[in-house]
């Protein structure tokens, strides 16, 4: 075969390959556009499905703002006909200071709430500690959801360091109506220290469902 014969064939192959490449590129662009459109559509679709099924949606990006503050979560399922008193307790099992900034608040089921806890390491050394929550009455635990809490992880404080930590929570509107008061108690103990942990409760590593 002469060089003159090969050149047209090579030229046809190159054109065919370029055409295939263009087709593939076009298909990939269509896939990207379709996926982007689907991603944008998922948000209103999800909200519509939740509204149709009467499911409450809490936006994680809004968590942390206290009721009344800018960007505070809005819960359309707040039961304004009920009031539940939530009491806060703190047990400091060691040489440090640990307490809530308020002893109790009155909340409506379904309402997002924020309570601050204060902690101070009064020792001359760095310490790492963990908080264990407990609830009273026990039935309240499955209806008490913490969206943000210092108890989700271990906390390290330097000598003399003070910190303020939020507990963002809401009480389930399915809480039995005869439960008028819930007590949330935290026991704070040093990890690896000589002070034993509280005998009740479990380490809280993720939000309660």
Q: What is the pLDDT of residue 184?
A: 94
In contact, 85 and 104? CB cutoff 8 Å: yes
Indicate the pairing of strand 181-190 with strand 84-92: parallel
Taking the chain, what is the end-to-end CA distance rounded to the nearest angstrom?
A: 76
Q: What is the pLDDT of residue 45?
A: 52
CATH number at 77-190: 2.60.370.10
Q: What is the pLDDT of residue 139?
A: 93
- Decide: helix, strand or coil at residue 121: strand
Beta bridge partner(s), residue 99: 118
User: How would you write the pLDDT of the chain (209 residues) with one tens digit per residue?
Assistant: 555 555 666 677 777 777 777 777 777 767 666 565 544 444 455 445 545 544 443 333 333 344 444 444 445 578 999 999 999 998 877 778 889 999 999 999 999 999 999 999 998 999 898 888 999 999 999 999 999 999 999 999 999 999 999 999 999 989 999 999 999 999 888 887 654 444 444 444 444 44
Which residues make Cβ contacts (< 8 Å) with residue 147, sequence separation at least 6? 58, 60, 63, 112, 168, 169, 170, 207
Q: What is d(CA 108, CA 100) in angstroms, rounded to the nearest whole number?
A: 20
- Which ranges constitute the DSSP H helices of 53-178? none
For the entire predicted model, the pTM comes to: 0.56
Which residues make Cβ contacts (< 8 Å) with residue 166, sequence separation at least 6? 64, 114, 115, 116, 117, 148, 149, 150
- For the chain, give every domain's residue range: 1-55, 77-190
Q: What is the pLDDT of residue 140?
A: 93
């Amino acid at each position: 075969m002469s060089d003159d014969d090969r050149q047209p064939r090579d030229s046809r192959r190159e054109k065919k390959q370029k055409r295939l490449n263009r087709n593939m590129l076009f298909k990939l662009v269509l896939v990207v556009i379709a996926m982007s459109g689907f991603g944008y559509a998922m948000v209103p679709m999800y909200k519509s499905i939740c509204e149709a099924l009467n499911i409450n949606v809490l936006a994680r990006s809004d968590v942390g703002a206290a009721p009344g503050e800018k960007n505070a979560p809005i819960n359309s399922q707040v039961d304004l006909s009920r009031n539940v008193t939530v009491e806060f307790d703190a047990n400091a099992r060691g040489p440090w200071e640990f307490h809530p900034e308020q002893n109790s608040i009155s909340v409506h089921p379904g309402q997002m709430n924020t309570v601050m806890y204060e902690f101070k390491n009064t020792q001359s050394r760095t310490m790492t500690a963990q908080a264990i929550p407990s609830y009273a009455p026990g039935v309240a635990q499955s209806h008490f959801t913490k969206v943000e809490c210092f108890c989700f992880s271990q906390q390290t404080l330097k000598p003399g360091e003070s910190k303020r930590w939020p507990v963002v929570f809401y009480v389930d509107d399915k809480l039995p109506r005869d439960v008028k008061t819930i007590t949330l108690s935290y026991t704070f103990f040093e990890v690896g220290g000589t002070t034993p942990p509280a005998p009740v409760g479990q380490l809280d590593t993720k939000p309660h469902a």
